[in-house]
Structure 1
Amino acid sequence: MLPINNNFSLSQNSFYNTISGTYADYFSAWDKWEKQALPGENRNEAVSLLKECLINQFSELQLNRLNLSSLPDNLPPQITVLEITQNALISLPELPASLEYLDACDNHLSTLPELPASLKHLDVDNNQLTMLPELPALLEYINADNNQLTMLPELPTSLEVLSVRNNQLTFLPELPESLEALDVSTNLLESLPAVPVRNHHSEETEIFFRCRENRITHIPENILSLDPTCTIILEDNPLSSRIRESLSQQTAQPDYHGPRIYFSMSDGQQNTLHRPLADAVTAWFPENKQSDVSQIWHAFEHEEHANTFSAFLDRLSDTVSARNTSGFREQVAAWLEKLSASAELRQQSFAVAADATESCEDRVALTWNNLRKTLLVHQASEGLFDNDTGALLSLGREMFRLEILEDIARDKVRTLHFVDEIEVYLAFQTMLAEKLQLSTAVKEMRFYGVSGSDSK
């Protein structure tokens, strides 16, 4: 315990006065800024934190969640870390020259000031930025997700992490060799620049490039030159079938030692609009039945997943099975009649089809297989096979074989560098439908060539 000193408060006050004199300009400006507070702003707390930081020469300043609409013009000059998240800031003042770490996410910033040369970490997630200023040469980390960026400046050679998800970028600048993590998902990119190939790096370093949900049709020629420690995610992009098949063939070679690449089998161009459920259903029936069918199905248009079921039916009509398999349309029409007569079966089928329009044509085909399984299981539960033991045993064998095929497909996927597991599972069903007596399997599929499967 410190000894009692009757002059302590006096000396403390004297010290504070000295400090106040030293930083009089700062304190005066901050006090004036505090008095200009808008309703709801906690500027008094902010000023208290500012003064404490300056007096004690703290290197970190945290002004988070104070509902601030602005910052004072003169921030403590010694800080290296500034956190100002979850406020209502629309702009920032000049930043201290010593700043190395800036976190300004969850604000309303439309522009940024000149960034200090010492800055290494920049986080401006969830703002309204349309562009970034010139980036400092020492910068290692950028997170600018959820903004309105249409372009990026030249990237520094020191950059290790770049995340710009959910913006409006149409192209990327040259990527630095130092880059270890890139996330450009949900933008408007139509191509990727050459990917940086490191000549020397630790085998323990995992490199991730996430480029989902763009408009990418072209990929760089050197993409296969990356190391096996690299993962490239290209799902939900309109890659051509030629590119998909070429990549699949090259990466399936026994001596392949390149990156893991993941992509969707869809070309990304399917229409997300749907028409009324009754219209989608009646299209499967001959004209002389369409009026009666339409009246029946109008009653189901507000049931859960009715819209996605309508879209599924339209996608199903464009599969290779619908185009090439004799009697396919009649088979679907008969199935739809069963759905109209059973609310339980209809509800189950709507749920099964709910996500079938979110991927490629072969997912639609596989969903059709699953819907036919649902029908058979429903019929069994309704007692259809009670007097036909042979048919019931056949159904049980088919369900068992399908489960085994799914397990085998899952093991097969693990041996491939990139592939849509839907393609593998459907390929097994399609190839073995006759040998295994799979009554629910379609006879053709769209992307068999890139499923990684063969007749063996």
Structure 2
Amino acid sequence: MREINMLRNISSCLFPHISTITSPNHYLSEWDDWEKQGLPEEQRTEAVRRLRACLTSKGHKLDLRALALSSLPVLPACIKKLDVSCNKLTILTDLPENIKELIARDNFLTHISALPHYLITLDVSENQLENLPLLPDTIKSLSAEYNRLSTLPSLPLNLKKLEVRNNELQTLPSLPSNLKILKVAHNHLTELPPLPRRLQLLFAYSNRLSNLPNIQENIIMRRFFYFENNQITTIPTNLFRLDPHITIEIANNPLSDQTLLFLIQQTSVPNFNGPQFRISLSDQNRLFLRQMLPQNLHSRHIRVITEGGQNFQIPPLPETVAAWFPEADRREVSTQWTSFSTEENSRA
């Protein structure tokens, strides 16, 4: 009786994409054959147990994580969430059309066939993919980090989160207007497409960007943009007109002394109410700024990336000069320059 009930449940959860299977008994036979063909390290018996349990309960979730699987069996059409992460899969094919969430991270995937038409979430990070298939219009979240992607397909209008860090991307397609999270760090990008107005978080560090993109104003929410470790040399003047809810990280870029001087001058005026900037300064930068700016100039809108991450402030000249010397000599140098700076006609 138990087997009969299970077969009845199976018959209500058919596999329309497998035309050769005509009865529930054939499904069980397919799984038995697939189980027997497994390698010793594969846990196919456990996978079949989970398949049977999913069908018996008419479940919408199928968890086949961490079973060392090199291939997948016929999958039930009724499942809506499939997790096959942490296996040894190299391809994904014949996926049930009803799947809305597909998690296949940490495998050895080199190819994915057509994706389910109603897919909402796709996570294929930590694989060996060189390209992605056409993305369904329904997708809202796409994660494909730590792959070998050199290009991306067109992005659906409904996409809200795109995570493609640590790939080989040289360009990006047009970004959809609903995008809120964009993570493209550690690629080979030389420029970014126009950023959507709704974008809240951007990781674009460790690329080859030479210019900052245009950031549209949106005063409703906090927003963070990370551009450190690029080749940026200048700062567009329109960025100073953005609202104070924005943080722009540009540390470890080859910003010229004049650009840094302009940045500090713009953000130090009493009525400035623009974004927050995070920068890094070399000893040469500090000495130049010390010569060009009033002593102890303070900007609450600039955070210098140091151990303490303090707000920008021009240090006294003795401290600036001492920083050029070995640590063991800095106290003596600072003392000497303190006496120099107090002499008549010196700039303290």
Q: Is there any run of 5+ residues in structure 1 with no aligned partner, and where?
A: 1-6, 267-359, 365-408, 445-454
- Looking at structure 2, the residues matched to 21 and 172 of structure 1 have their Cα atoms a distance apart, in angstroms, of 43
Q: Deviations over 1:51-94 (max 9, x none)?
A: 744648332110111111112x2112111111001111012111
Q: Structure 1 residues 43, 100: closer, same or farther in 2, change over 3 A?
A: farther
- Looking at structure 2, the residues matched to 233 and 240 of structure 1 have their Cα atoms a distance apart, in angstroms, of 16
1:181 to 183, 201, 204: 201
Letter in 2 for 1:222: N
Contact 2:17 2:96 in 1 (8 A): no
Q: Is there any run of 5+ residues in structure 2 with no aligned partner, and where?
A: 55-61, 63-74, 288-295, 307-311, 323-330, 339-346
Structure 1 residue aligned with 2:80: 59
Structure 2 residue aligned with 1:129: 149
| Alpha-carbon shift at residue 48 of structure 1 (Å) | 6.6
- Looking at structure 2, the residues matched to 21 and 143 of structure 1 have their Cα atoms a distance apart, in angstroms, of 32
Structure 2 residue aligned with 1:141: 161
Contact 1:111 1:130 in 2 (8 A): yes
Q: Deviations over 1:352-410 (max 9, x none)?
A: xxxxxxxx43689xxxxxxxxxxxxxxxxxxxxxxxxxxxxxxxxxxxxxxxxxxxx9x
Contact 1:41 1:67 in 2 (8 A): no
Structure 2 residue aligned with 1:68: 89
2:271 to 255, 278, 285: 255
Say which is worse superposed, 11-20 or 109-118, in terms of deviation: 11-20
For 2:332, what is the secondary structure of its paired residue? coil
Structure 2 residue aligned with 1:427: 316
Q: Structure 1 residues 84, 127: closer, same or farther in 2, change over 3 A?
A: same
Letter in 2 for 1:106: E
> RMSD of the alignment, in Å?
3.5
1:191 aligns with 2:211: yes
Larger Rg: 1
Structure 2 residue aligned with 1:13: 7
Letter in 2 for 1:138: N
- Looking at structure 2, the residues matched to 212 and 418 of structure 1 have their Cα atoms a distance apart, in angstroms, of 15
For 1:13, what is the secondary structure of its paired residue? helix
Letter in 1 for 2:210: E
1:81 to 86, 96, 101: 101
* TM-score between the two structures when normalised by the length of structure 2: 0.72
Aligned length: 292
Letter in 1 for 2:247: T
Trace 1:7-406 onto structure 2 (pairs within 5 A).
Answer: 7-17=1-11, 19=13, 24-25=18-19, 52=54, 53=62, 55=76, 57-71=78-92, 73-198=93-218, 201-202=219-220, 205-266=221-282, 360-361=283-284
Q: Structure 1 residues 97, 257: closer, same or farther in 2, change over 3 A?
A: same
For 2:111, what is the secondary structure of its paired residue? coil
Q: Deviations over 1:126-166 (max 9, x none)?
A: 11111111000110101101111111011111111111111
Contact 1:194 1:221 in 2 (8 A): no
Q: Structure 1 residues 256, 23: closer, same or farther in 2, change over 3 A?
A: same
Structure 2 residue aligned with 1:416: 300
| Alpha-carbon shift at residue 265 of structure 1 (Å) | 2.3
* TM-score between the two structures when normalised by the length of structure 1: 0.56
Contact 2:14 2:78 in 1 (8 A): no
Q: Structure 1 residues 249, 60: closer, same or farther in 2, change over 3 A?
A: same
- Looking at structure 1, the residues matched to 224 and 111 of structure 2 have their Cα atoms a distance apart, in angstroms, of 32
Task: Percent identity, please.
Answer: 32
Letter in 1 for 2:4: L
For 1:416, what is the secondary structure of its paired residue? strand
For 1:248, what is the secondary structure of its paired residue? helix
- Looking at structure 2, the residues matched to 135 and 158 of structure 1 have their Cα atoms a distance apart, in angstroms, of 11
Q: Structure 1 residues 249, 85: closer, same or farther in 2, change over 3 A?
A: same
Q: Structure 1 residues 361, 146: closer, same or farther in 2, change over 3 A?
A: same
Q: Which has the higher strand share?
A: 2
| Alpha-carbon shift at residue 33 of structure 1 (Å) | 8.0
- Looking at structure 2, the residues matched to 133 and 221 of structure 1 have their Cα atoms a distance apart, in angstroms, of 33
